[in-house]
Amino acid sequence: MGFFGPLKSKKELISLQNETASRVFSSDGQLIGKFFDENRTNISYDNLPKHLVDALLATEDVRYFEHTGVDGWSLLRVFFKSILMGDRSSGGGSTITQQLAKNLLGRKKGGVFALVINKAKEAIQAGRIEEVYSKEEILTLYLNTIPFGENIYGIETASQRFFNKKVDQLRIEESAVLIGMLKANTMFNPRLNPEKSEMRRNVVLAQMMRYEFLGKDEFDSLKQISLQLDYANLAAEGPANYFIQLVKQEARTILEEINEDSEKQFDLLRDGLIIETTLNAELQNFALIAFREHLSKMQQLLRDHYGKGHYKKQLDRMAQNKMVQSGVSRNAADKFVADLFSWDENAQPDTVTFEDSIKHAMTLLHAGLLALNPQDGAIQIYVGGIDFIRQPYDQILAKRQLASTFKPVLYSLALESGYSPCDYLKNDSIVFEEHENWTPKNYDHSYGGKYSLAAALAKSKNIPTVNLYEKLGHQSLATHWRKLGFTSELPNTPAASLGTTDASLLEVAVAYSSFANGGYKVNPYTIKSIKTSDGTIIYQKSHTEREQILNQESAELMGLILRKAVKEGTGTALINKYGVSMPFAAKTGTSQNYGDAWFAAFNSKMVIATRVGASSNQIHFNTGSLGSGSKLALPLVGLTLQKIQNSSLSESVTDYNFQVNLVELEFIYDCEDYKETPVIKDIIDDLFDGFRIQRKSTNKGSAAKKRTRTNTPSKNYPSMDGSKSKKKKKKKKPRVWKKKKKHF
């Protein structure tokens, strides 16, 4: 009558549904994450292996198929032994159906009287459950409901967590481990208490033998098997946890739009939705392996760098200042146990001082790597950092100084303005008096003569780049910068042409996509489809019209020039060291004092970009042999592409049309990379610069005509196998001059 709390009616029981976690899958069908209030994945009776059901019955309710919800003999035992005699070890006497009822109703704590009331309520509720559901359905409901600790519910989720497999793939001894946890899910947790878990497993196996679910020989054999786990906690150790956060945001936006137009409301955390994403799990794994291979080595080198001499003293001062700024009053000599990040999988929590923990954090190398399809923006690889649990800040979304990775923005504007790859840019030293006598310098400290536009970009020359910036003007560059998808304000200084502005890896990938796809802007996305738990499609990614932001010719020329950067410029290690024969164009970037290292590569099937650096740009290598874009960042892309090339996925990234297209365009920069210029010619060029700029901007037709494709073979461009043909430069005595003040 409800005096001791409500019971569920038969009607309510019929509509009973467990909250179910929504599952996130990669494009190649791998489970990569879940969204839930309760981490549960419901399964059907057909998915339950017989030995799992046998283990459950032998341990919890051997007369399950004989009673109608309540076992009279068990209740008598509870009454006489547990209640009257106070023997708690005699068992609770609840059937599986009563335990299900307890899970649905909960229990009020109290003495003997409360126990009697709870048992009575559960018995009544169990009777109603038996009238509504079949025995098989009750078993399924029970196994989908029971908690296993660690915030996981249901046998399928437990199987995935402790053995990294679906429940129908469990072996007998593994089923016994999970059923054994039902008695006390923390005490018998196989990860936390492996010895107790193994003992409890053997008790379950003994019960199975007792009730003839196992033979004696089989029992003797199984109990000798040592406990073996394949622990897989997606929430903590998932292969794409940074990516999962983007998926969650996108899924919520999609569901809000669906719920506005639909009577049925979908809940991301409770409705067991099936979300198929764009991420390829195999490609993702290649990138994760590259991170471990390369960054583990570079991390040790950086720690060694700051472990002695001047740099150690510098780190000591920085750590002490950090403690003062943080208002930490703790004695630096005091030690505590800290779970610090390490590339060593077997590393254990260490005892350190607070100051040492700060130094560890400051010298930690962070990195992000992103790959997307430049045709539609589908994200294929997303490694947002080195450790999601300890370092959750997403490095792909972080904004850092772009350095020379910015230069393709400027040079693409030049091509859009009518410049040709064989137009020459001065390499004479410049002093900008109005900008505190700032002087751009080339990486190799060379100056004099002129570089072709193609060579200046491919070889990442700074002085010609600044000269180009002066000719194009800040306003046109700022407009072009926004058009390519960057959001930071572009400062009105000549140094901006060398990448002093901050941007994110995601923005770089979007901008470079326009070079790869013929000049179109893409919008990155993560979700291909969303289905209900029964497979009904409620969302399917549709094709969207793309905005053309570069003309096709300019985009193709950027691919041509940046392919030159891979074959004879700053990106040669991609071919020479990592053996990547798949055709890619690319650009390196190294910020001031090696604070950040960048590398971005592309063809018409993939754009892949990475950045590496400590959390503060005050921590860095002191030499380009370790800290430059080609040494610190390029290897992450090189190793990833190397692994792709050696896999069955190579065809999905190899772009033969891209290679053929580049060969057809080679004639366009059939000119010397570098040439000397007489002084008198420099003076004439200065006098007519204004006229030339005006002619280029108003007579784009003739410039385009100048670039018309022919079948003329290139004499100077290296062959597609990576070999080079270089012409020797003539030495010229450097000449320094001051530029007149101009308004920027």
- Report whether 70 contacts 95 (CB < 8 A): yes
Total tally of structural domains belonging to the chain: 2
Residue 711 has a pLDDT of 33
Q: Domain span at residue 99?
A: 38-237
Give the pLDDT mean for 137-149. 91
CA-to-CA distance for 173 and 228, rounded, in angstroms? 10
Rounded percentage of the chain residues whose pLDDT exceeds 90: 65
Predicted confidence band of residue 497 (pLDDT cuts 50, 70, 90): very high
Predicted confidence band of residue 121 (pLDDT cuts 50, 70, 90): confident
Residues 605 and 461 occupy one common structural domain: yes
Give the pLDDT mean for 208-234. 93
651-660: pLDDT as tens digits: 989 887 776 6
Least confident stretch, 142-156, 332-346, 693-707: 693-707
Q: Is residue 221 part of a domain?
A: yes
Q: Is residue 657 part of a domain?
A: yes
pLDDT at 236 over 80: no
CA-to-CA distance for 471 and 487, rounded, in angstroms? 24
Predicted confidence band of residue 93 (pLDDT cuts 50, 70, 90): low
CA-to-CA distance for 422 and 683, rounded, in angstroms? 20
Give the pLDDT mean for 136-165. 92
- Residue with the bigger pLDDT between 671 and 677: it is 671
- Kindly write down the DSSP assignment for every residue of 516-550, as one continuous string: HTTSEE---B-EEEEE-TT--EEEE----PPEE-S
Give the pLDDT mean for 94-100. 87
- Report whether 454 contacts 565 (CB < 8 A): no
Q: Is residue 12 part of a domain?
A: no
- Residue with the bigger pLDDT between 342 and 88: it is 342
Residue 379 has a pLDDT of 98
Least confident stretch, 90-104, 233-247, 451-465, 617-631: 90-104
Give the pLDDT mean for 442-454. 91
- The end-to-end CA distance of the chain, in Å, is 85
Give the pLDDT mean for 86-98. 66
Least confident stretch, 333-337, 457-461, 623-627: 333-337
Predicted confidence band of residue 687 (pLDDT cuts 50, 70, 90): low
Residue 338 has a pLDDT of 85
Predicted confidence band of residue 730 (pLDDT cuts 50, 70, 90): very low
Tokens (6 digits) for 733:
């005595």
Residue 444 has a pLDDT of 87
CA-to-CA distance for 642 and 635, rounded, in angstroms? 10
The angle formed by the CA atoms of residues 618, 623 and 626, to the nearest 5 degrees, is 95
Q: Is residue 264 part of a domain?
A: no
The domain that holds 185 is classified in CATH as 1.10.3810.10
Residue 707 has a pLDDT of 39
The last residue of a domain, from among 192, 207, 237:
237
Q: Is residue 488 part of a domain?
A: yes
Give the pLDDT mean for 552-578. 94
Residue 704 has a pLDDT of 37
Residue 682 has a pLDDT of 58
CB-neighbour burial class of residue 467 (10 A; exposed 0-12, middle 13-18, buried 19+): buried
270-298: pLDDT as tens digits: 999 999 999 999 999 999 999 999 999 99
CA dihedral 60, 63, 66, 70 (to 10 degrees): -60
- Report whether 229 contacts 162 (CB < 8 A): yes
- Report whether 239 contacts 284 (CB < 8 A): yes
pLDDT at 744 over 50: no
The last residue of a domain, from among 673, 689, 706:
706
520-558: pLDDT as tens digits: 999 999 999 999 999 999 999 998 889 999 999 999 999
pLDDT at 612 over 70: yes
pLDDT at 663 over 80: no
453-483: pLDDT as tens digits: 999 999 999 999 999 999 999 999 999 999 9
Nearest to 370 by CA among 391, 407, 398, 341: 398
Residue 103 has a pLDDT of 77
Residue 84 has a pLDDT of 55
pLDDT at 151 over 70: yes
Please, what is the average pLDDT of the chain? 86
2-57: pLDDT as tens digits: 666 677 777 777 766 778 899 999 999 999 999 988 888 889 999 999 999 999 99
Q: Is residue 105 part of a domain?
A: yes
Tokens (6 digits) for 331:
């004695």
pLDDT at 91 over 60: no
C-beta pairs of 555-558 under 8 Å, 24+ apart in sequence: 555/412, 555/514, 555/515, 555/516, 555/517, 555/518, 555/519, 556/518, 556/661, 556/665, 557/415, 557/421, 557/665, 557/668, 557/707, 558/408, 558/411, 558/412, 558/415, 558/515, 558/585
The domain that holds 638 is classified in CATH as 3.40.710.10
Predicted confidence band of residue 696 (pLDDT cuts 50, 70, 90): very low
Predicted confidence band of residue 743 (pLDDT cuts 50, 70, 90): very low
Residues 230 and 375 occupy one common structural domain: no
Residue 3 has a pLDDT of 64
Q: Is residue 288 part of a domain?
A: no
Quick check: pTM over 0.85?
Answer: no
Q: Which residues have C-beta within 8 Å of that of residue 610, sequence separation ≥ 6? A: 367, 368, 369, 370, 505, 598, 599, 600, 633, 636, 637
Q: Is residue 629 part of a domain?
A: yes
